[in-house]
């Protein structure tokens, strides 16, 4: 059983050098600092006094920190003594006012309370405890734990101080009002009197048993009890304070052992051996004995046998009769133990929250949120029972909704089966009405389920998707696998076009590749890339509308130009295939103040802006009614552009089907339903979805700023354990210490000061990281990569908040990520290119560049510059192509 704290070998508890100690060094440090008010921490002392009454264990927990920082268990701050003296003086004044004492009597009462009741009894109690602990209670040190096993006298006095303050409240304040009640002879008053003194013993017990430095063997406890009991017999009529102190020590040993079987026998022993009426002095202090025996106690068999042997010795000696008042209390306690109810069984399947609600520990707290699916489906679950050659789309829908995953072979089977169907389709599809046209999805699987609720079941509704199924959202692979499964089931009624994000370049830069590797493997990612290259590029709806992902191109004159494209490849950075995936209408579409039909698209970093004039000319040239596109987020989910003069129908329509894009745009989504020459727009809002940290970050990486801040706080606390005065003060308790030169002392203080300042700066940096970490992560979610929009961090905290405060602000903050990302090439490939450039073997004319098969870099040499950069892992190995 852990009982007493020990001094460290480095603490000067003994005079090891043989040099005589000065008188001042023998006086505890807490008394020598009584006159240094500027060094006292009254706030900490007031905190300790408060918790001594409310939760005394917290005060003793603070002893561990004091030991680690000051290398001593005892206090060195006398602030608690000053506050205790002041409290006793206030109590003396209160007693004097209530009982009409003269000023001289009031001063005398104050001195009695402070000097006799607190200091004199405290010195005596601490000395006895210190003596008995070092002689009887302390286990001898062993080779496995060769520690100094001496108990500090100053700590014994601290135990008395901690136990005395609650006693002061009850003895001098509570009894000021309860004295008429305590003096009455009935069981309620006896119970109240016992309670007033019991807390002092509890405080002493906490001080003795709260440390984890020493174990007290049971036979030593019995020996200590025997020794204390013998002193109690011999002292007899000695003054009350001495008897009180011994009773406290005996009460500690008997009152707090622990067992479940021997309570009654121990109480009977206490009844016959401890509670004795030796003379009138003991009768006067009977309340101390009553407080020891009133509470039920327990013990082990070994301790019980030792105590019973003492009982035989006590009975054989000439001992007066038992105190009748205490005997009644002991018998009542024995009766209570005999009829004590068994302890209730604790149901660990139930937990009570702070608000009082009870929840089951075997169920989810939020029951309306399903638990993620942990098992991959078997082939029997994966394939449909109606047609074993097709996947079970109903099962996959629910399985993906619960964040479930399929096996890699099953995912590959879906991708290859659908790719074969997509590869057989032409570049330009011919689709008939009725049909529902959908815009960008961007990995928002839960909103895709909402889309099918609004647009209709794929089994009964013809669908045309305009591309951008992946990236930015964190459920892209689920969207791909589910849509591709629907394509297998409904190849003639569900059509999928290619978007600008269906390529290696963007999926590597944004989140799709990372998601595939996190949830499956790079094998799945490569299969998706092969499938994306098979997607058609455009569709003619009802022979009236051109449906594409991006927009028009200066190289697009007729639909045959699209049909002539080799689509089974990665999209280039210029040309017709690039333009129909990347181009946009100009911002002031229909009110342009320019004569050009196409202008450079500075927002995308590639392709063009096309004007109202270019759109009208293309529609007239191909006898079409309108252009339906996606590619741009819209606040309302759709946008109708200026109508053509010849038909009065909008020349361009934009559809966007990802609500609350990136979880910050707060936009609506829309689908276009065309039936019986009537066009309807169906809008819908976002659906709640499971949360992922940005870029599939784990919680440990996310918490690094928080951990760093706490570590620096601890370092600052360690370095600030000694105040400036304490650093300048000589260590008076060191027996022998070599006096350092003044220059060395100044240099040492300077080094410590610099360390504190350095750690303080680190703490401020980590605090800034912690405060802005969440906002930065939100912007990373917007960007969909490990990069932030350019210049965002330079705006500070307020700039980060403003950057995500609405649709327009979110769109402006995200505009950097609408650009064509920089291209990455392996360092070895770049080295080969640079070597060829130095040797003069590279082609020089544009025609030669296009036809050269040497490297993809050579095809862009006239339009791009090379800039070396590091990969995200910090390894040199890639080159970044940046626009000149």
With CA atoms as reference, report the closest residue to 326 among 374, 294, 370, 357: 294
b/e map of 542-562 (b: 16 or more CB within 10 Å)? eebbbbbbbbbbeebeebeeb
388 phi and psi angles, rounded to 5 deg = -65, -10
Q: Could you report how far apart the first and last alpha carbons of the chain are, in Å?
A: 77
Between CA 829 and CA 329 the distance in angstroms is 94
**Known active-site residue 14:** no
**DSSP secondary structure code for residue 322 in this structure:** B
The length of the chain is 884
Q: Are 402 and 373 in contact (CB under 8 A)?
A: yes
**What residues does 215 pair with on adjacent strands?**
2
User: HSE (CB half, 13 Å, CA atoms) of 588?
Assistant: 5
User: How many angstroms separate the CA atoms of 786 and 692, rounded?
Assistant: 14
DSSP E strand boundaries for 649-742: 652-655, 669-675, 678-684
d(CA 707, CA 719): 18
CB atoms within 10 A of CB 320: 11
Among residues 329, 442, 501, 689, which one is catalytic?
A: 501
Here the tokens at position 528 are 């998706």
Cα separation, 73 vs 62, whole angstroms: 10
Count Cβ atoms within 10 A of the Cβ of residue 525 and give its class: 0-12 exposed, 13-18 middle, 19 or more buried: buried
H-helix or E-strand spanning residue 767:
helix 742-783
- Token readout for 705 is 């700023």
Rounded CA separation 633/620 (Å): 28
The residue assigned the tokens 């608000």 is 355
| Residue 274 CB contacts under 8 Å (≥ 6 apart), including other chains | 229, 250, 254, 289, 292, 293
Instruction: Give the residue from 635, 583, 605, 550 showing the smallest Cα distance to 815.
Output: 605
Residue 690: HSE in the Cβ half-sphere, 13 Å Cα cutoff: 15
- Burial (0-12, 13-18, 19+ Cβ within 10 Å), 857: buried
State the virtual CA torsion across 743, 744, 748, 754 in degrees, nearest 10: 50
Q: SS3 for 431?
A: strand
Q: How far is it, in rounded angstroms, from Cα 410 to Cα 407?
A: 5
Give the closest residue to 765 by CA, choosing from 697, 693, 704, 718. Answer: 704
Cα distances (angstroms) measured from residue 396 to each of 399, 406, 689: 5, 9, 17
Name which of 450, 511, 862 is nearest 697 in CA terms. 511
Beta bridge partners of 538: 428, 548
- Which residues are designated catalytic? 501
């Amino acid at each position: 059983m852990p009982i007493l704290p020990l001094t460290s070998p480095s603490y000067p508890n003994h005079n090891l050098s043989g040099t005589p100690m000065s008188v001042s060094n023998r006086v505890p440090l807490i008394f020598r600092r009584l006159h240094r008010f500027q060094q006292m921490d009254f706030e900490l002392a007031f905190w300790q006094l408060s918790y001594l009454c409310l939760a005394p264990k917290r005060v003793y927990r603070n002893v561990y920190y004091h030991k680690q920082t000051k290398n001593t268990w005892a206090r060195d701050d006398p602030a608690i003594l000053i506050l205790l003296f002041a409290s006793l003086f206030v109590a003396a004044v209160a007693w004097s006012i209530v009982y009409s004492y003269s000023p001289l009597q009031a001063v005398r009462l104050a001195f009695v309370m402070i000097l006799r009741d607190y200091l004199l009894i405290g010195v005596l109690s601490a000395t006895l405890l210190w003596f008995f602990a070092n002689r009887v209670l302390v286990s001898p040190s062993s080779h496995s734990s060769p520690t100094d096993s001496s108990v500090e006298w100053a700590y014994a006095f601290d135990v008395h101080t901690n136990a005395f303050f609650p006693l002061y409240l009850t003895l001098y304040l509570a009894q000021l009002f309860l004295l008429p009640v305590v003096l009455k002879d009935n069981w309620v008053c006896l119970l109240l009197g016992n309670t007033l003194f019991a807390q002092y013993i509890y405080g002493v017990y906490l001080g003795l048993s709260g440390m984890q430095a020493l174990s007290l063997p049971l036979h030593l406890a019995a020996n200590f009890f025997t020794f204390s009991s013998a002193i109690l017999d011999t002292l007899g009529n000695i003054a009350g304070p001495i008897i009180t102190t011994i009773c406290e020590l005996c009460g500690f040993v008997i009152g707090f052992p622990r067992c479940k079987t021997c309570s009654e026998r121990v109480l009977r022993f206490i009844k016959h051996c401890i509670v004795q009426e030796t003379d009138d002095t003991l009768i006067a202090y009977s309340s101390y004995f009553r407080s020891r025996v009133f509470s039920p106690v327990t013990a082990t068999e070994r301790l019980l046998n030792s105590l019973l042997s003492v009982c035989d010795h006590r009975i054989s000696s000439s001992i007066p009769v038992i105190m009748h008042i205490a005997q009644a209390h002991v018998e009542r306690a024995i009766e209570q133990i005999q009829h004590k109810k068994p302890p209730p069984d604790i149901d660990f399947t139930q937990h009570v929250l702070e608000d009082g609600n009870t929840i089951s520990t075997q169920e989810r707290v939020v029951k309306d949120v399903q638990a993620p699916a942990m098992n991959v489906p078997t082939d029997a679950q994966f394939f449909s029972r109606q047609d074993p050659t097709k996947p079970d789309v109903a099962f996959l829908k629910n399985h993906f909704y619960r964040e479930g995953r399929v096996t890699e072979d099953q995912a590959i089977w879906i991708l290859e089966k659908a790719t074969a169907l997509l590869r057989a389709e032409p570049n330009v599809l011919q689709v008939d009405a009725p049909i529902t046209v959908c815009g960008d999805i961007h990995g928002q699987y839960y909103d895709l389920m909402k889309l099918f609720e609004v647009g209709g079941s794929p089994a009964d509704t013809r669908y045309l998707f305009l591309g951008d199924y992946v990236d930015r959202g964190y459920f892209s692979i689920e969207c791909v696998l589910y849509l591709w499964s629907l394509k297998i089931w409904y190849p003639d009624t569900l059509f999928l076009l290619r978007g600008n994000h269906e390529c290696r370049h963007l999926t590597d830069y944004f989140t799709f590749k990372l998601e595939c590797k996190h949830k499956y493997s790079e094998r799945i990612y490569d299969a998706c890339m092969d499938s994306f290259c098979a997607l058609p590029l455009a569709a003619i709806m009802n022979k009236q509308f051109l449906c594409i992902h991006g927009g028009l191109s200066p190289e697009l004159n007729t639909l045959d130009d699209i049909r002539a494209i080799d689509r089974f490849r990665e999209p280039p950075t210029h040309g017709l295939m690039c333009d129909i995936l990347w181009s946009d209408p100009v911002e002031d579409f229909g009110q342009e103040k320019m004569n050009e039909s196409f202008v450079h698209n500075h927002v995308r970093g590639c392709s063009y802006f096309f004007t109202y004039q270019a759109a009208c000319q293309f529609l007239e040239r191909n006898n079409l009614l309108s252009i339906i596109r996606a590619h741009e987020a819209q606040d309302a989910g759709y946008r109708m552009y200026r109508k053509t003069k010849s038909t009065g129908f909008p020349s361009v329509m934009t559809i966007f089907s990802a609500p609350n894009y990136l979880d910050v745009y707060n936009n609506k989504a829309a689908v276009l339903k065309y039936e019986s020459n009537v066009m309807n727009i169906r809008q819908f809002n976002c659906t709640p979805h499971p949360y992922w940290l940005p870029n599939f970050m784990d919680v440990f990486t996310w918490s690094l700023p928080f951990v760093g801040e706490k570590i620096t706080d601890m370092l600052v606390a360690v370095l600030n354990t000694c105040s400036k005065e304490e650093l300048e003060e000589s260590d008076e308790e060191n027996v022998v210490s070599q006096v350092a030169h003044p220059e060395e002392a100044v240099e040492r203080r300077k080094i410590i000061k610099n360390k504190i300042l350095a750690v303080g700066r680190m703490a401020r940096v980590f605090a800034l990281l912690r405060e802005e970490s969440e906002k930065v992560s939100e912007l990373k979610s917007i960007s969909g990569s490990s990069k932030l929009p350019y210049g965002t961090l330079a705006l500070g905290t307020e700039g980060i908040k403003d950057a995500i405060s609405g649709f327009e602000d979110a769109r402006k903050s995200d505009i950097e990520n609408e650009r064509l990302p920089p291209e990455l090439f392996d360092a070895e490939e770049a080295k080969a290119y640079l070597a060829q450039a130095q040797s003069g073997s590279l082609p020089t004319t544009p025609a030669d560049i296009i036809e050269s098969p040497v490297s993809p870099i050579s095809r862009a040499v006239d339009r791009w510059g090379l800039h070396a950069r590091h990969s995200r892992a910090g390894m040199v190995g890639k080159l970044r192509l940046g626009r000149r």
